Structure 1
Amino acid sequence: MSERPRPLTNLDDTRDLSSSSSPLASASAYEHQSLTPRTPRFRAGFGGYEEAELGGRNRQHDDDDEEEVQSPAAPLLRSSVDNDNNDGLWQKDVQSFLGLDKVSPDMIAERLPVVAGCLIAGLLLFFALVAFRSPGTLEYYIGATVPSEANSTTSPTSVSPVDSSLLISYANYTSFPLLPTEYVSECYKIHPEGRMKPMKYWGEDGVPTKDVAHHQPPEGTCSSTITYMLDGRIGLASDLALIAQIAALARERNRTFLVDDTYWNRGKWTDHFQDVRLTQPGPEPGCLPPPSEELVACPRQVKHWVVNSHTAKFHLSHGFEDQYEDAYARNLNRLKPIFLRASESLTQTIRPSEKNAELIAETRKELGTKISSNYIGVHIRRGDHKAKFTKGPEGYVPIENFVNEVKGIKERFFAEGDTTMVYVASDDPYAIESFEKLISESLSPSRGYVQTFSLHASSSSSLRALASPKAYVQAEFNALHEDKVMLTRGVIVDMALVSGLWMEDGDDDGKMKPDAVVCTIGSSICLLSAPPLSWSPAFGDMDPKGLGYPVRDKQRWLDVDQKGAIVPAWKGFQMF
């Protein structure tokens, strides 16, 4: 056990320290005592006083009389002269590093144009970004007049009175109609949450709504319109399903219905369908479309309402369902009003053009030479459409599912032993080939044969040219080198033959039509194939006051993906 440290004692026995009151005596008492400096420099040089102190505790008693003389390796304080010299050197080093020691008036004059040019270039870049991101902003600040459309016939002096708090401004836009994405941006300005707030679908009577300023229109302009804008963002059938509902809204509100194809990538609307101003004239037959700068996407109560696949979610979601579904029915029965609205639009408003009607009639005529009775329509969607529930190889619904459903329909609705015709449509030629091979191998002669037909197998070169050359991917459609108008005609012919749409255009006696349709609900062609069958045959004579589930053994519209697992088993359109 180590001894307790002893107090400091006088090491010089020859001195008289009895007089403790004398200052000299006190000083002499510590004259030869070695004291440890308590400074950081000393600690760094000699390991710190802690080490010395601990070492002293471990020494033997006979070492206590030894005197260790220690001196710091460096002075504790630095000369002020050294500080001044070092500061001056440091300042010179900084100036040399920054190059300030070489700056001269001649150098500044030489490089000033370069600096000025960089500043001007940066300013021009800033202006360019502002003009790109916010068109019309620069013109607004400099007081310039923003040009309107060259063909605009509106008068700037005759503006209808609009409450400034309700005014929708298009001051930042110079081109009309707006891009579809710009319309959806305007909707988000009014409804940042991405949907319209709960309210009556058409608003309260007498309550003013937001709108743009309306100029005095040319004589004969439609007074109130609903326009569907095609943009090519979604597939043809998806657009048609939305158009069917928007056209029904125009009929209900007694407003003129129009279709805008300014940004469509499939040609003109009239290349494929009749002008809707002829098929659905509205309250003002032959009226002129309103100025495109007066079209508004949100809210829908405006004078000239425009809808596209981007903005449909603001208008055809929960509020639409609450307004137009049957609130007193259950499940699929709730959608019967929407089903009937789609059926009316598909038969009256959306009519194939003269050219497409001829192609549909030619296809039905060739099909009629092979059979004398009705047939089964099969649509197999591939490409960018994956299965939701029944996934097979590569994520698609297996071909076997289509074949098995066709066999079941043949047993239920067709006479045993007769030959049954199946019209097969698909965006993927390989899927058609696989179906034809599998269906021919799976049926025995005693149950009757199944014969298939498709555009690929047509004897007419003009019809074969309409067949899809490869699986359809919407994102790649714009980059295709094939004739997009011709490809679109092929889709329309396939849709007509699979579903039975526009029967009167190709078969006056109505004998050649599908008795049943097999498809996948994720495809809009599949959704549009149900209305031509009519409500009861499509879903199996459901009890109107029952639970609203389709009767699988009786229904003739058959989805082979979800198979009714999702309620409701059918819907009128897809949301994007």
Structure 2
Amino acid sequence: MPSHLGVPHTSHAKMIISPPRLNLRRAASYTGVPNEKLPLSATSSSFNFNHLLFSPPPSPGLPQLVTRPRKASNAPRPSRVFRGLGWVITLVIFLYLSRVVVRKNVSLPLVGGWEKTGDFEMVGQYDLPDFPTPIAVTDRRGRSKWTVSIPPTYDFPLTTKEYSDICAKCHEVAAHVRELQGDSHPSQQAQLDYYYQDPYFVDVHEAESHGLLPGMDAQAHQTMAKVPEGHFVGRNETDMVDRPVCTTSMTFVLESPEAGIGPTLMMLWMAYGLAQKENRAFFIDDTRWAYGEYTNLFKAPPVPACNPPPRHEMLPCPHHARHLAVSVATARDTFGHSFDYQYEHPQRNDVTREKPMYNLARAGYEALFHLVDEDRSYVEKRIQELKAKAAVPGESNHDGSIIGVHVRHGDQHPFETQYSATYMPLIRYTEVIQQIIDDAHNASMPDGGDDVVAKQHSQVVLASDNPDVYTSDEFSGSVRAQERIQLASVAHPKPASQDPHVMHKFQEETFGWEGGFFGSMFWNLGRSTHNNADSDGVATVVHSSDATRLRSLIGRSYMLDLAILGRGTDTVICTVSSAGCRLVAVIMGWEKAMGEGNWVNIDGNYLWTGVSI
């Protein structure tokens, strides 16, 4: 018999009433999944997990979850300050290493200080490089400057390579210092300004007075007494004792890597004119000139009324340095694009475009081109002889023309493309000669006829570095410009019949100037041919007395030719590619050469120019 439930009987029925917010729907309604998609059984395969991804909200009857407290770490941690400092240090090191990698090809001596004097830091002697180079220095406020450090005990003059290296590094150091100062590159107008002054450059004398450079101590003065200080032409030590040091100066170093004397002479004249324009005292150093002493060719130049500065203050760059050293090795810095921009008339397209440069060269010629007495006397006598040959007897007749011709062969080739790999044909010279004579004497008689007598008395004065030109058919009727010093060709004798099985004494090969002036021949003067195998291929100057005497004779011969062509002829025909041609134009004078058109260039349509770089 089934049991009965015991239900107590009370006056009020006891019932469980659900709260109104209690949702009595099936659980599937909370998931939003239809009933047909729920699993039919625990082992059913048609089952997805959407009901797990979309859980119902927590039951309002359950307590909220309490966050578990974090467990304290036993390992000590640095404070935020130290961590931030570490990141800053790491970033600085990374930037520094990146800068080093980017600028690894720039060698910049950055000098620190050890003794503070005034506003600057004194640079210790041990901090300076022991070779000439631009350096960057810093003052006490951290501002960067740059200067050129040449050890006071260093030999003077510097080599041509050292001068060119300093000029190349000056641009790098100046750009680096501007970058350190946060300054942008100068404008294009400032870069073309020949007299632009770098605000971050400190001259050597100023650097020493402010403590940026140590200067010379007593030991340096004692050492300098034994160090070569160069040879300044015309300067007498005894007469210069009581004179002060020049405020500004320019020293022209004659040593040149080029064998030809023409480019050096043109640059010397222009440097003198430039020094006069800039109010600089002018000195000439001939210590290692391949042609020997300057006074073997010319008289000593005018000596300034002041002494040259200490040798380590003579800098090749920048141009606004107080004491400037100029040479062929520094031509691009002294006579480069900014010089052309300063001393050209860019708005003109004729020969007057170069007249300011011509005037500089002319000033140098008038002051420096004074041959030694014996050569000067010969030039004057030779010019009188040429004029006598061209003179026509009688007062009413015109004299013949004296036409000078300068032919350059050797290692100098014309600018004209057609002949750039060879030489200008001699027939071109003779055609121009005939044209000049015809223009001067055709229809020149009072009756309108040709002056045949003047044509017959006209003289062709020839100067060439190639002896074979004098004997050519084209110039068979010409005369040499000078016969005092001649560069002759040597006929090679036939070798004598000798027994090949017997050793014979070594005989030097015959030497001549066939083909013209070549630099390799010039540098090998005085060197024996039997030891050519010992040469390492580098051109070295032989400083023996015989070699120097031979080079001096070559230079004198060249000067005699130029003097007679420039002073003793009516018209000169030449190729502007040759430095001698451009020098003759300076000797002739502007009015005669350019104004009257008596300087005739047959090498293309090129105009006169000074320094050719």
Please tell me the residue identity of whatever aligns with 2:581.
C
Q: Secondary structure at the match of 2:436?
A: helix
Report the counterpart of residue 522 of structure 2 in structure 1: 477
Q: Secondary structure at the match of 1:226?
A: strand
More displaced, 290-299 or 214-223?
Answer: 214-223
In structure 2, what is the Cα distance between the partners aligned to 1:260 and 1:248?
A: 17
Report the counterpart of residue 65 of structure 2 in structure 1: none
Report the counterpart of residue 168 of structure 2 in structure 1: 188
- Over residues 351-407 of structure 1, what are the superposed CA-to-partner deviations in whole Å (9 max), with x where a residue is unaligned? 223343233234334434533355111110011012232656971111111111111
Report the counterpart of residue 572 of structure 1 in structure 2: 610
Q: 1:410 aligned to 423, 437, 447, which one?
A: 437
Confirm or deny: 8 A CA contact 1:194 1:314 kept in the other structure. Answer: no
Give the CA deviation at 1:572: 1.6
Report the counterpart of residue 347 of structure 1 in structure 2: 366
Give the CA deviation at 1:229: 0.9
In terms of fraction of residues, the more helix-rich structure is 1
Mark the runs of 5 or more structure 1 residues left unpaired by the alignment. Answer: 1-133, 135-139, 149-162, 441-449, 501-512, 542-554
The RMSD of aligned alpha carbons is: 3.6
Q: Secondary structure at the match of 1:237?
A: helix
Confirm or deny: 8 A CA contact 2:192 2:341 kept in the other structure. Answer: no
CA change 1:464–1:537 in 2 (3 A) is: closer
Report the counterpart of residue 254 of structure 2 in structure 1: 230
1:254 aligns with 2:279: yes
Mark the runs of 5 or more structure 2 residues left unpaired by the alignment. Answer: 1-108, 110-122, 132-142, 176-185, 209-214, 222-240, 392-398, 443-450, 490-511, 527-546
Q: 1:298 aligned to 317, 336, 342, which one?
A: 317
Report the counterpart of residue 551 of structure 1 in structure 2: none
* 1:283-432 matches, cutoff 5 A: 285-372=304-391, 373=399, 375-389=402-416, 391=418, 395-414=422-441, 416-417=451-452, 418=454, 419-432=457-470
In structure 2, what is the Cα distance between the partners aligned to 1:303 and 1:225?
A: 7
- Over residues 289-324 of structure 1, what are the superposed CA-to-partner deviations in whole Å (9 max), with x where a residue is unaligned? 222222100101111101111111112122111211
Q: Secondary structure at the match of 1:241?
A: helix
Confirm or deny: 8 A CA contact 2:254 2:327 kept in the other structure. Answer: yes
1:535 aligns with 2:590: yes
Report the counterpart of residue 52 of structure 2 in structure 1: none
In structure 2, what is the Cα distance between the partners aligned to 1:226 and 1:142?
A: 27
In structure 2, what is the Cα distance between the partners aligned to 1:388 and 1:425?
A: 20
CA change 1:423–1:142 in 2 (3 A) is: closer
CA change 1:427–1:391 in 2 (3 A) is: farther
Report the counterpart of residue 558 of structure 1 in structure 2: 600
In structure 2, what is the Cα distance between the partners aligned to 1:341 and 1:143?
A: 44
* 1:3-402 matches, cutoff 5 A: 165-171=145-151, 174-192=154-172, 198-204=191-197, 207=199, 209-213=201-205, 220=243, 221-234=245-258, 235-276=260-301, 278=302, 281=303, 285-372=304-391, 373=399, 375-389=402-416, 391=418, 395-402=422-429
CA change 1:170–1:534 in 2 (3 A) is: closer
- Over residues 156-205 of structure 1, what are the superposed CA-to-partner deviations in whole Å (9 max), with x where a residue is unaligned? xxxxxxx9723312249832221121011001101259999715322249
Give the CA deviation at 1:451: 4.5
How many percent identity over aligned positions?
26
Please tell me the residue identity of whatever aligns with 1:571.
T
In structure 1, what is the Cα distance between the partners aligned to 2:126 and 2:347?
A: 59
CA change 1:146–1:439 in 2 (3 A) is: closer
CA change 1:204–1:390 in 2 (3 A) is: closer
CA change 1:439–1:490 in 2 (3 A) is: closer
Confirm or deny: 8 A CA contact 1:212 1:294 kept in the other structure. Answer: yes
CA change 1:393–1:275 in 2 (3 A) is: closer
Report the counterpart of residue 496 of structure 1 in structure 2: 563
In structure 2, what is the Cα distance between the partners aligned to 1:362 and 1:466?
A: 21
Confirm or deny: 8 A CA contact 1:390 1:397 kept in the other structure. Answer: no
In structure 2, what is the Cα distance between the partners aligned to 1:533 and 1:194?
A: 42
Confirm or deny: 8 A CA contact 2:485 2:557 kept in the other structure. Answer: no
Please tell me the residue identity of whatever aligns with 1:188.
A
CA change 1:498–1:240 in 2 (3 A) is: same
In structure 2, what is the Cα distance between the partners aligned to 1:358 and 1:422?
A: 22
Confirm or deny: 8 A CA contact 1:367 1:453 kept in the other structure. Answer: no
CA change 1:192–1:515 in 2 (3 A) is: farther
Q: How many residues align?
A: 371
In structure 2, what is the Cα distance between the partners aligned to 1:335 and 1:384?
A: 26
Please tell me the residue identity of whatever aligns with 1:272.
L
TM-score for the superposition, normalised by structure 2: 0.55
Give the CA deviation at 1:345: 1.9
In structure 1, what is the Cα distance between the partners aligned to 2:289 and 2:264?
A: 11
More displaced, 402-411 or 342-351?
Answer: 342-351
Give the CA deviation at 1:270: 1.6
CA change 1:328–1:430 in 2 (3 A) is: same
CA change 1:142–1:270 in 2 (3 A) is: closer
CA change 1:355–1:232 in 2 (3 A) is: farther
Q: Secondary structure at the match of 1:300?
A: coil
Give the CA deviation at 1:497: 1.1
Confirm or deny: 8 A CA contact 2:405 2:463 kept in the other structure. Answer: yes
Please tell me the residue identity of whatever aligns with 1:356.
D
Confirm or deny: 8 A CA contact 1:267 1:484 kept in the other structure. Answer: yes
Report the counterpart of residue 27 of structure 1 in structure 2: none
